[in-house]
Amino acid sequence: MANRLLLDVPIRRLHDVVAVRRGCREVAARLGFAPQDQVRIATAASEMARIAMTYANGGSAALSLADGPPAQMTVTIGGHDPGFADALDGTDSEYESVRAGACRLVDDCRVEARRDGAAIVLEKALPAGLPADAGRVAAADASRAIDAFSVKAQPGDGTDELQRQNRELLQALAELNQRQDELRGLTRELEETNRGVVALYAEIEEKAERLRQADAMKSRFLSNTSHELRTPLSSIRALSQLLLDRIDGELSAEQERQVRFIQNAAIDLSELVDGLLDLAKIESGKIAVHRATFSLAELFGALRGMLRPLASNAEVALLFEVEPAGALLHTDEGKLAQILRNLVANALKFTEHGTVTVSAQVDADGAHFSVTDTGIGIAHDDLQRIFEEFEQVRNPLQRAGKGTGLGLPLSRSLAALLGGTLSVESAPGKGSTFTLRLPTDAIQPAGAGTSDGAPLERP
Ligand code: ADP
């Protein structure tokens, strides 16, 4: 790295310190430093020149330009006194505070031992885009400025003022540095907080992923297990029916009671397995919606036949109302029937007197089905809970062993699969109304085709 000497200013008297300051400022301006940086370099150099004056009784300031990289301006303040190095090495508090302040004004600041004393070297990187002859012009300008000052100056001129200015500048700088430190501290704190938040997000994301995996595993497990249970359960049901039909010979009254017990248990278990399997299929998105066109009257006819055996209580009337009578629907008939069957079976189960009314309304908004009973009703606090898996409300009609707690969650999932919603309103002691709303695409406009039957995969 070539080092070009631009200027050498002797420091013999105090007013030479001012000359150093002027020279440095001129050179820095010529080399393209911003005004603030010009003041910084000039201040650091003149303060060090003052130190050389005080501790070495004089010396010299050499301003040079290093080509780099990095290209930089160097001010070397030499103190030509063998004791200067020791003086700088000592613990003089004034020198220390001036040195610390001056060092902050430049990029690098160090003390080098010399044969005839010591030198303080200050360096500051040049701003980009230095003109080719800037060094030469800077040297000439600085010399002129120093000469002009020296001709006019009297010993002691400006030195006190300079010292005062420098002290103020150093103090302002110290305050600025303190603010910068505070700002750095705040930034660090903010960065740490941000890192914490990011880590927290990552943790939540990881937990959510684990939950998703656990959920998928649960569905797979339910689906596999339920599937495996179905075959033995059908065998138990079929075999118990064979026994009850006396195919293998007469049964005693006690034997018949016990076989019926086995058969009922197998039927209950089959319902549970079917419910679990359906839920697992819906959750895993493997269930297909088969849309077809059918009439509301046909659907209600089929439901009436299917539900009649359940309506065994003579004190409860099962009523069907269709509006308009000839309305057509275009949706998955099997799934719609399954939802309504669940709702009507519940209504009959929880109603001792009065009516269970199944009604359907088709209008421009879509199809609305409601199952209204005059039964025991559901407390307000339980209205959400009953749509969760395995949730049942304690009540006198909750016959032991009957029901799985899966009917409503399954019905709600099926309703969502058909693009609709299932909701409930109820008053304890008065009865409940479950409402299924299907969107307009579940309605077949009058006169349109009868059936497409195309399976539609839903996510
Ligand atoms: P299950 O009927 O098999 O117990 P569901 O999921 O179909 O399961 O219903 C959950 C619970 O909601 C029932 O156990 C019952 O406590 C309550 N419930 C459902 N329908 C009615 C109704 N129409 N009247 C009163 N309670 C009801």
Cβ of 407 below 6 Å from ligand 1: yes
pLDDT digits (tens, 9 = 90+) for 37-78: 888 899 999 989 988 888 888 899 999 888 767 788 999 999
How far from each other are the two terminal CA atoms of the chain, in whole angstroms? 70
Identify the pLDDT of residue 459: 33
Mean pLDDT by 10 residues, the chain (459 residues): 81 86 86 86 91 88 82 90 80 76 88 87 83 71 71 56 71 81 90 88 92 85 81 90 90 92 89 84 82 90 87 90 85 93 93 94 90 95 90 73 81 94 95 95 60 38
Cβ of 46 below 6 Å from ligand 1: no
Cβ of 48 below 6 Å from ligand 1: no
The torsion angles phi and psi of 229, rounded to 5 degrees, stand at: -80, -25
Cα(346) to centroid(ligand 1), Å: 6
Cβ of 404 below 6 Å from ligand 1: yes
Identify the pLDDT of residue 417: 93
302 is written with which tokens?
A: 């089929």
Identify the pLDDT of residue 444: 65
Tally Cβ neighbours within 10 Å of residue 113: 12
Identify the pLDDT of residue 439: 92
Cβ of 344 below 6 Å from ligand 1: no
**Full-model pTM:** 0.54
Question: Strand pairing of 59-66 and 455-457?
Answer: unpaired
Identify the pLDDT of residue 410: 92
DSSP 448: S
Residues 6+ apart with CB under 8 A from 431: 351, 354, 372, 373, 374, 375, 376, 377
Residues β-bridged to residue 111? 120
Q: Which atom of ligand 1 is nearest to the CA of 408?
A: 6
Tokens 């002027």 -> residue: 22
How far is residue 44's CA from residue 427's CA, in Å, rounded to a whole number?
87
Cα(121) to centroid(ligand 1), Å: 90
Burial label for 266, CB within 10 Å (0-12, 13-18, 19+), is buried
Average pLDDT of the chain to the nearest whole number: 84
Is residue 64 within 8 A of residue 74, CB to CB? The reply is yes
Identify the pLDDT of residue 446: 47
